[in-house]
Amino acid sequence: MVFVHSVKLNNGYEMPILGLGTWGSPKGEVAQAVKDAIDIGYRHIDCAHIYENEHEVGEGVEAKIKEGVVKREDLFITSKLWNTFHRPDLVRSACEKTLKNLKLNYIDMYLIHWPMGFKEDGELFPVDENGKTAFSSVDYVDTWKEMESLVKDGLVKSIGLSNFNKRQIERVLSIATIIPTNNQVECHPYLTQKKLTAYCKSKNIVVTAYSPLGSPNRPWAKAGDPVLMEDPKIVAIAEKYSKTTAQVLIRYQIQRGNIVIPKSVNKNRIASNFDVFGYELSDADMQAIDGFDCNGRFVALTHLHGHPHHPFENDEY
């Protein structure tokens, strides 16, 4: 399947460069958002077990396949292995649960959601006696070996990483028989990820940019936090092209060659976010946007500092 606007992965598969994100989408609104997105032209849906809405994504996908709007092979579905399932004996059953929720017999892309494992066999956010997150001692390189078996057995077409830093990717590459195809990371003008992106490209790993609009609905946002979509410099560039700030932020990632997964459940915004292929940002504007970088991470997970595999604590990128 060759998608209209896509990136070729290192295993030969094509991944649509623009997808619908589903993190934090309100329960009860996801199935309709997926149906709207498919009608609008999206062919890539980004999901994860921890979002607790994969069954709704499955409803939306199933409805559009039954209507004949798309075939299964027309769609690219990404999901992610949650932190409590890193232990090798849990990986397959976690993937099978996602397949059941999505009503699919294979996933196009399956990522290790974070390099950090959490305590298994309980809650999705396990806590110790002090009320702190309970960590697992499992090493993600052992998890990766089990991810490879999902490909070999046909449950998954492509496997990759999410929120892994350079050193962590190198450790996976050192033991991998299947090279990661993708690293999904927070990426926007305040956190351009230039060094990590360059490293991934040197290893033929495609980058997916999450929170490309600055994660305005993140639950931990505080009054006074910068709002990327209201940044006067971004607003000025958007006005110059008669586009929305969201369209400029999405286009910025596309021109960098990054896959991008803006989230919305609003049909008009879903359509607007897809309307980014008919124009180009100038080189000067791309460079200007690059210059907004301030290592401004919105999803920092500082409460998990101390985990031996925390990706943002001790490494430059």
The Cα-based distances of 246 to 177, 193, 220 in angstroms read 39, 19, 21
Quote the number of domains for the chain.
Answer: 1
Q: What CATH number corresponds to the domain at position 42?
A: 3.20.20.100
> Among residues 13, 42, 51, 279, which one is catalytic?
51
The Cα-based distances of 304 to 5, 183, 285, 300, 301 in angstroms read 37, 20, 36, 9, 6
Which residues are part of a known binding site for substrate? 113
Q: Is 76 a domain residue? A: yes
pLDDT at residue number 3: 65
Task: Extract the tokens encoding 315.
Answer: 């490494």
Q: Which residues of 9-25 are buried (b: 16+ CB within 10 A; e: fewer)?
A: bbeebbbbbbbbbbbeb
Q: Is 314 a domain residue? A: no
Mean pLDDT of the chain: 96
pLDDT tens for each residue of 274-295: 999 999 999 999 999 999 999 9
Q: Is 24 a domain residue? A: yes
Say which DSSP state 121 is in.
Answer: S
pLDDT tens for each residue of 128-187: 998 999 999 999 999 999 999 999 999 999 999 999 999 999 999 999 999 999 999 999
* Mean pLDDT along residues 103-122: 97
pLDDT tens for each residue of 293-304: 999 999 999 999
Q: Is 88 a domain residue? A: yes
Question: Is residue 222's pLDDT more than 90?
Answer: no
Provide the sign of the torsion angle of the four alpha carbons 178, 182, 186, 190, taken in this order: positive
Output the pTM of the full model.
0.96
User: What is the extent of the structural domain holding 53?
Assistant: 6-304
Q: Is 271 a domain residue? A: yes
For the chain, percent of residues with pLDDT exceeding 90: 93
51 classed as catalytic: yes
* Mean pLDDT along residues 247-261: 98
pLDDT at residue number 2: 55
Q: Is 313 a domain residue? A: no
Rounded to whole angstroms, how far apart are CA atoms 70 and 113? Answer: 28
Q: Is 317 a domain residue? A: no
Q: Is 174 a domain residue? A: yes
